[in-house]
Structure 1
Amino acid sequence: MPISYETDRRLWLLQGDTTAYAVRLDAGDVPRHVHWGPSITLSEAVALSHELPDPAASSFEQGPGAAELAVEGGDHFGPASLQVRFADGTRGVEWRFIGHEARGDHLRVELADRYYPLRVTLHYRLQGDVLERWADVVNHGPDQLDVLRADSAAWHVPVQESYRLSHLVGAWNSEFRLRRVELPAAETVLTSRRGTTSHHANPWLAIDDGTAGEEHGEVWSTVLAWSGSWRVTVHRDPGGRTGWTGGFGHEGLTWTLEAGETLTTPTFSGLYSAEGFGAASRAWHAYVTRQVLPHPGEDRPVLYNSWEATGFDVDEAGQMALAARAASLGAELFVMDDGWFGARLSDRAGLGDWQPNSRRFPNGLRPLADEVRRLGMRFGIWVEPEMVNPDSDLYRAHPDWVLHQPNRRRTEMRNQLVLNFARPDVEQWAHAWLDRLVGDLGLDFLKWDFNRAFTEAGPDRVFLEHTRAVYRVMDRLRADHPGLRIEACAGGGGRADLGILRRTDQIWPSDNTDPVDRIGIQHGFGQYFPARVMSSWVTDNPNVTTGRTTPLRFRFHVAMAGVLGLGGDLTTWSADELKEAAEHVAAYKRIRPVVQHGTAYRLEGSGTLTGVQYVRDGEHVIIAWCPTRPYGYTPGPLPLPAVSAGADYLDLDTGITHTGAVLLHRGLPLDLPPGDHASAIVRLRRLP
């Protein structure tokens, strides 16, 4: 049974594939954490539930045992997961246990306040070794109830001598930079106040004792599935106890619950790995594939996007010419980017007027769609449904539709404002034109963008309801148009999370397509996102973001580690470049089943040599990069952790056979070209 219950201790044990999680109720009906780690028996969980005296405890410390959802009030002085204010001004919660229900892999623990009409259900659901947690907060009274904080879950790890925090930081064009730092004895807050997940932080984190590596050591990690503002507070006290609590919304927001209303928090999932950060990532990848993605078994097509070729200078003839060139290289999906609608001659006008520009497309978009399909490709379009330019017919007709507050100026960023999707009329308008656009053209693909943060957002509930409305629009579109696929984009990786990914098929990690920078971006992105959702383009030289010039081979090899795309101005590429590009596209299609559907192992060599190994049914694809090579440095063999010491492996391109023991301990020899920006792809097959 995945869920066991011990009556005397009022303890629940949830058993995953290789891990376990245990929680109990104390004498005051407070849910207390017992265990999160390797598999244990119910009797062992009971033994663990008996607290040992804390030698550092005193009358100034909080009560025994870490709370599963810490509330404001009583003897708790750490960060609160749940803060409420009742109609008479009283704050804090005192629990009364109502009951529990365990069905299959789903546990519900029902709690109520001892005096006030508040009920909370704690949800626990096992998916393999990933534990999903969320909460329902219900106002059972006749009066309004203010919720000042409603986190999805609190997590706790065993006492260690030291702790290390891994998290993702960044900025526009520099997202998903992995940071590993010693966790201070303090409260460390990871957050976004921008109305979206943000470029600057991501709601994933991992904790270890400072000694874990890629393939060894204990790692505890969590991911919040939410695409709006969020906050996670990590707390390490001087006594050595460490945990964190997290959920939607940032500090200072209040949700007002009407009588009978329920607030359901987003899923906050946790995973324990006994075999390092690599095993943790692979477990997250498997979870995303099985439980999150709408169409996990599909091959993601090689796409071409017109943005870097045309910018806003979009017209029918130019797009058709690019489509022909893209098809000749082997592209399978053509995506027309910004500039096709309204008065969109620059980023200053037209956003919100989602009708084709009649001068640029005198017969609408149907001729282009038909030509793209005649060339053997699918057809997609860029949209930014949540934004509007003040210089647009939509804004002139509905200035009240944007986020704004009385007596405050409307802050423009990128010459645009944010439409308030928390308004039912805005949500209905967005769905109507998107449904019409997709239906009329039979669109195969939407690149859904979101290019600026919230400002002047109010009331507080906008931060919740806007994101929920975006989810509903996407859900309706996908239900009504089963062939539609969506890419999540937000000025690059500004809205990359498991909430948006449940409704999309891939994510654009960054507007920065420089392959040197992309290696680091993709390394951080892959901490919990699998390769099959990582959109990566090959673009022009010099790179539009960095000005760096790199070989076409290097650009392709970096992009081939995910979902390959083409984004350059193909009309300027030489005949040799076009020939080489077509060869790389064909090579990608040969390795695509292993890259997109295989198991990923991050590789570390000497110096700047790194790579990724993908494994599927005995087939191995190794992609290696060496961005810089100091004088006298020869990149050595690259050790492969995903081979068996007793097996042999055939190089499918050279015919050379390698022994597994040598590949595992010494490494794979690489035939790298000289100089900087060197790369290689090796295909191996395990021999019977």
Structure 2
Amino acid sequence: MTFHWQTADLTLTFCFDDGPVRLDSIRPRDEPGDGSGTTDQPLVEVSALGHGRSPSTFRHVETTIGKRLRYQRHEQSADMLRIVQHDDVTGLEVISCFRALAGVQTWTEATLTGAGRLELDFLSSAVIGLGSVDFDLLAGDNDWMAESRWSRSPLRSTGLPDIRTAVHRPPPRTRRAVTCNGSWSTGERLPTGVLLAHDEPYSLGWQIEHNGPWHYEVGETRQGGYLLLSGPTDAEHQWTTSISADDSFSTVPVSLVAGRGQDDAFAALTRQRRALRRRRPVDDRLPVVFNDYMNTLMGDPTTAKLLPLIDAAADAGADYFCIDAGWYAEGDWWSTVGAWQPSATRFPNGLGEVIDRIRDRGMVPGLWLEPEVIGVDSPLARELPDEAFISRRGVRYAESGRYLLDLRSAAARDHLDSTVDRLVAEYGIGFFKLDYNTMTGPGSDLGGKSPGQGLLEHNRAHLDWLDGVQARHPELLLENCGSGALRMDYALLSRLHLQSTSDQQDPLLYAPIAAAAAASVLPEQAGHWAYPETSTSTERFTVSLVNGILGRMYLSGYLNRMTTDELDLVRAAVSAHRQVLAQIEELTPFWPLGLPGWTDEWVAFGLAGATSSYLTLWHRAATPGRLDLPLGGRTVENFFPAQPGDWTYTSTGQMLTVTTSSCEPSARVIELGAVIRGEEGRG
């Protein structure tokens, strides 16, 4: 039999028979699946010590227990569906939980119904049957200063060769696997993806919502294709956990959406992210933040350097001023961090003098903080107990001159709570940039647990700590940073206000990062650096500002050294950005040229609204150029800068032709009116 569960936007079709429950399709609500049972892929895959897979593969499907699961019951309400299955051999009970938001958030709960214990080494958050592998995969790579690099590839070219013939029927036992290791949740890969169908305008999008290790894979069995999403695993992350009737386990949550193409899927993910956010009234402010770091003080703040910057930032229109790294250090600060006390040499009259100037100029003061680490040369490394640190076999894990706190430890959390509470109480701090430049490795085996389970518990304790900080300080805004965007996930971003999208210092290399970030993070959370440099060309100066317009402008640069014309351009950029901020939470991203390539000459990214849209265009060649976009039939207005300069726009039929006669790289933001004839032709 089949069962359809509908949300406001989706129809999920489940199949029930004498085997395990299957999720046969996820479609837009007005295009439900037919329930034809095109796949035999179980909804839940689970393996345990003594209960593996058949046949043996590297994949996490065709698990022995997964095949033995049988439907028991399901419970549904307006916004929740719970499907209960049972394995008679082990006594394992699994519950697949689906929460209706803009898309669907889903996870799996596991427990035993009888005596004994079971050591799990894999449990999926969700598995979706695809019927075939006739899809392209949109997936993103990530790196420090080279974040959000997306590519599109047919599944057949990503490790799923078609080897079946008249005499040899089995499909490949390989898979397209994408995995994150350690506590940089986006250190190498992004936990977001989209499958685009070849034979119809259908797309399936997802994101894994975890601030630690995760795994997804796309593969093919005899019955068809599948998409599998999970948190940590034994094979990839040294994770196992023991469950019993008294000790249950829940996987990390994932979100699923469906649409009719690339931009439709990302628009649905955008709506889902907005539904996931735990917003407070202070989040509604959407302030313009000035930070002294990028291409400016670069970790060397002093009173003498900061005071003129504060005045210039206020004059430019900033609302918050964040003092970045180095404010606590007398000298080399990398391996001595942890106490978070202001430097006496950097601030001879005390940090309060600088904080007071920020407040006197009408801005909210902020500080950079890397709370989860203790430098190996810090006195706190000796004062805190060993159990306060991530450790393996009784030895503290040390990376790049730092020990890493284990936030399951009361001592570690007390240290962090006292630090935050002290800085808020003493200086009135209203903004912390929370950085994270070192990662944990596989995790802690303290207490005899697997490293992967130790890390998972630490990750969840980290989220609890953040929730506690915000509950105690409801006016405090928190930025998420991890060597740029190496921890850009929606376990954290469902809680935090702002996400640093990169540490990239070249504005031309920042362009594809700023253009692609909205595939992973909400535009209203995407903190793009705008760090104009005085005495550069007007076009390069403009590119630096353009990067921040369609997102959350993270202003920097030596504003106090700029000419009157340069400062006027900065103020104009801030003013234009505020116009976008006034409606940004209603806008959805689109990419008329597709997601950008790292070396593309032209890069295009837009935010679409009900009556008008904004489009940023970058031309990164040092020659004149021309671009045809399928965005005709609209009015076109200059947005930033106010005068087009060497750029022209011509709308003819369904095509918008853009030309630039500039002989250096340049960028513009334009405003597009509603379609006035024909049909919109976005990619």
**1:575-605: CA deviations, max 9, x gaps?**
4433332232223223332455423322339
Q: Is the 8 A contact 1:403 1:417 kept in 2?
A: yes
Paired position in structure 1 for 2:670: 682
- Cα shift at 1:288: 1.3
Q: In structure 2, do the counterparts of structure 1 residues 149 and 474 end up closer, same or farther at CA, with 3 Å as the change threshold?
A: same
Aligned counterpart in structure 1 of residue 96 of structure 2, from 91, 111, 122:
122
> After the TM superposition, which of the residue ranges 101-110 and 184-193 deviates more from structure 2?
184-193
1:233 and 2:217 matched: yes
Under a length normalisation based on structure 1, what TM-score does the superposition of the two structures give? 0.84
Paired position in structure 1 for 2:613: 620
SS at match of 1:682: strand
Mapping for residues 64-463 of structure 1, pairs under 5 Å: 65-72=40-47, 79-80=59-60, 94-128=68-102, 130-141=103-114, 143-160=116-133, 162-183=134-155, 184-185=159-160, 186-209=174-197, 217-237=201-221, 240-249=224-233, 250-257=236-243, 260-274=246-260, 276-292=261-277, 294=279, 298-308=284-294, 309-341=296-328, 343=329, 345-361=331-347, 364-398=350-384, 400=386, 401-406=388-393, 410-413=397-400, 415-455=401-441, 457-459=443-445, 460=451, 461-463=453-455
CA distance in 2, matches of 1:586, 1:673: 27
1:639 and 2:614 matched: no
Unaligned runs of at least 5 residues, structure 2? 161-173, 446-450, 677-683
Paired position in structure 1 for 2:578: 589
Q: Is the 8 A contact 1:233 1:246 kept in 2?
A: no
Q: In structure 2, do the counterparts of structure 1 residues 576 and 82 end up closer, same or farther at CA, with 3 Å as the change threshold?
A: farther
Q: In structure 2, do the counterparts of structure 1 residues 664 and 368 end up closer, same or farther at CA, with 3 Å as the change threshold?
A: farther
1:484 and 2:468 matched: no
Under a length normalisation based on structure 2, what TM-score does the superposition of the two structures give? 0.84
CA distance in 2, matches of 1:636, 1:457: 49
- Cα shift at 1:639: 3.5
- Cα shift at 1:679: 1.5
Q: In structure 2, do the counterparts of structure 1 residues 68 and 493 end up closer, same or farther at CA, with 3 Å as the change threshold?
A: same
Q: Report the AA paired with residue 537 of structure 1.
A: W
> After the TM superposition, which of the residue ranges 613-622 and 388-397 deviates more from structure 2?
613-622
SS at match of 1:477: helix
- Cα shift at 1:301: 1.8
* Aligned residues with identical type, % of pairs: 21
Q: Is the 8 A contact 1:638 1:668 kept in 2?
A: yes
Number of equivalent positions: 634
Q: In structure 2, do the counterparts of structure 1 residues 518 and 405 end up closer, same or farther at CA, with 3 Å as the change threshold?
A: same
Paired position in structure 1 for 2:22: 32
SS at match of 1:470: helix
SS at match of 1:501: coil
Paired position in structure 2 for 1:55: none
Mapping for residues 642-657 of structure 1, pairs under 5 Å: 645=633
- Cα shift at 1:16: 3.5
- Cα shift at 1:15: 1.9
Q: Is the 8 A contact 2:181 2:441 kept in 1?
A: no
CA distance in 1, matches of 2:227, 2:631: 34
Q: In structure 2, do the counterparts of structure 1 residues 153 and 412 end up closer, same or farther at CA, with 3 Å as the change threshold?
A: same
CA distance in 1, matches of 2:668, 2:327: 39
CA distance in 1, matches of 2:516, 2:656: 24
Q: Is the 8 A contact 1:608 1:629 kept in 2?
A: no
- Cα shift at 1:533: 1.1
**1:431-463: CA deviations, max 9, x gaps?**
232233224333221111111121373212221
Q: Report the AA paired with residue 482 of structure 2.
A: A
Q: Is the 8 A contact 1:154 1:243 kept in 2?
A: yes
Paired position in structure 1 for 2:592: 603
Aligned counterpart in structure 2 of residue 20 of structure 1, from 8, 11, 29:
11
Q: In structure 2, do the counterparts of structure 1 residues 549 and 419 end up closer, same or farther at CA, with 3 Å as the change threshold?
A: farther
Q: Report the AA paired with residue 211 of structure 2.
A: S
Q: In structure 2, do the counterparts of structure 1 residues 687 and 516 end up closer, same or farther at CA, with 3 Å as the change threshold?
A: closer
SS at match of 1:241: strand
- Cα shift at 1:574: 4.0
Q: In structure 2, do the counterparts of structure 1 residues 654 and 537 end up closer, same or farther at CA, with 3 Å as the change threshold?
A: closer
> After the TM superposition, which of the residue ranges 376-385 and 672-681 deviates more from structure 2?
672-681
1:522 and 2:495 matched: no
Q: In structure 2, do the counterparts of structure 1 residues 662 and 514 end up closer, same or farther at CA, with 3 Å as the change threshold?
A: same
Report the RMSD for the aligned CA atoms in angstroms: 3.3
